[in-house]
Structure 1
Amino acid sequence: MVKMKDVAAITEQVSNHINNHKFDIALTWPITISVGLPNKALLEANAVAVHNNNNAIKKWANKCGCKFETVHRVIGTPVELVSKISVPDELTVLRILKKSEVEEYRKIRRRIDWLSAEFSVSPETISAVVRMTNNEEELDFNLIVKAAHYFQNNDVSGITPRQVPLTGFSSKWLNETRTKRRKAICQLLGIEALNLAGRPTELRFRYLDPAYDDIELERIILLPWEGDAFAGAKYVIVVENKDTYQSMPLIPNGICIWGSGSAVSNAVPKISALRNMHIVYWGDMDADGLEILSSLRESGVPCDSILMDCTAYDRYCQFGTELTERGTEIKLREPKPVLGLRESERKLYMQLCSDATLRYRRIEQERIPICNALEELHKLGVPAVLPK
Structure 2
Amino acid sequence: MKTPPAVTEDIRRRLSGRWHAHLTGEERAFPHAFALGRPATSELRADYSAVHAQTVQWQDWARAHEVVLDYENRAAKGRTTQPVPTHARVASIDHAASIAGGVWPDRLARARQRLDVLRDRHPHLVEVGKTLRTLDAYRDVDFGLLLSVADWYREDPARANLGVTPRQVPIPGVHAKWLQSHRRGVQALTGLDDLGLLPGHPPRIHFTYLDPGHLAAGGRVHDSATAGDRFTPAYVPETVVISENKDTAIHFPPLAGGISVEGVGKGGKTPASFPWIRDSPVLVYWGDMDRDGYEILDGYRADFDRDIDSILMGPEDYETYEAFGTELDQTGRVLLPGVPRPVDRLRAEERAVYLRLLDARHTGHRRVEQERIPLARALEQVELVRQRVADRDAH
Q: TM-score, normalised by structure 1?
A: 0.64
Choose the corresponding residue for 2:386, options 339, 356, 381.
381
* 1:186 matches 2:187: yes
Shift of 1:141: 0.9
Q: Distance in 1 between matches of 2:213 and 2:20?
A: 71
In structure 2, what residue type is equivalent to 1:187?
A
Aligned pairs for 1:38-53 within 5 A? none
Count of equivalent residues? 286
Structure 1: which 5+ residue stretches go unaligned?
Answer: 1-19, 27-99, 384-388
Q: Distance in 2 between matches of 1:199 and 1:356?
A: 44
In structure 1, what residue type is equivalent to 2:232?
D
Counterparts in 2 of 1:332 and 1:151: CA distance versus 1, 3 Å: farther
* 1:258 matches 2:262: yes
Residue of structure 2 in register with 1:328 after alignment: 333
Residue of structure 2 in register with 1:136 after alignment: 138
Shift of 1:331: 1.8
Is the CA contact 2:314–2:353 (under 8 Å) kept in the aligned structure 1? Answer: yes
Choose the corresponding residue for 2:240, options 217, 236, 241.
236
In structure 2, what residue type is equivalent to 1:304?
D
Residue of structure 1 in register with 2:294 after alignment: 290
Shift of 1:266: 2.8
Structure 2: which 5+ residue stretches go unaligned?
Answer: 1-18, 26-102, 389-395
Is the CA contact 2:225–2:231 (under 8 Å) kept in the aligned structure 1? Answer: no
Residue of structure 2 in register with 1:32 after alignment: none
Is the CA contact 2:294–2:346 (under 8 Å) kept in the aligned structure 1? Answer: yes
Residue of structure 2 in register with 1:199 after alignment: 201
Is the CA contact 1:121–1:188 (under 8 Å) kept in the aligned structure 2? Answer: no
Shift of 1:171: 2.1
Q: Distance in 2 between matches of 1:21 and 1:233?
A: 54
Q: TM-score, normalised by structure 2?
A: 0.63
In structure 1, what residue type is equivalent to 2:276?
A
Kindly name which structure, 1 or 2, has the bigger radius of gyration based on alpha carbons: 1
Q: Distance in 1 between matches of 2:105 and 2:372?
A: 53
Residue of structure 2 in register with 1:361 after alignment: 366
Q: Distance in 2 between matches of 1:198 and 1:170?
A: 17
Shift of 1:246: 2.4
Q: % of aligned pairs identical?
A: 32
Is the CA contact 1:306–1:376 (under 8 Å) kept in the aligned structure 2? Answer: yes
Q: Distance in 1 between matches of 2:318 and 2:104?
A: 50
Q: Distance in 2 between matches of 1:342 and 1:105?
A: 45
Residue of structure 1 in register with 2:222 after alignment: 218
Choose the corresponding residue for 2:347, options 342, 345, 352.
342
Give the helix-richer structure, 1 or 2.
2
Aligned-residue RMSD, C-alpha: 3.3
* 1:268 matches 2:274: no
In structure 1, what residue type is equivalent to 2:167?
R
Counterparts in 2 of 1:111 and 1:142: CA distance versus 1, 3 Å: same
Task: Tell me the alpha carbon deviations over residues 168-217 of structure 1, each in whole angstroms, 9 at most, x when there is no partner.
Answer: 22222234xx4xx4333232234567575233111000111133332331
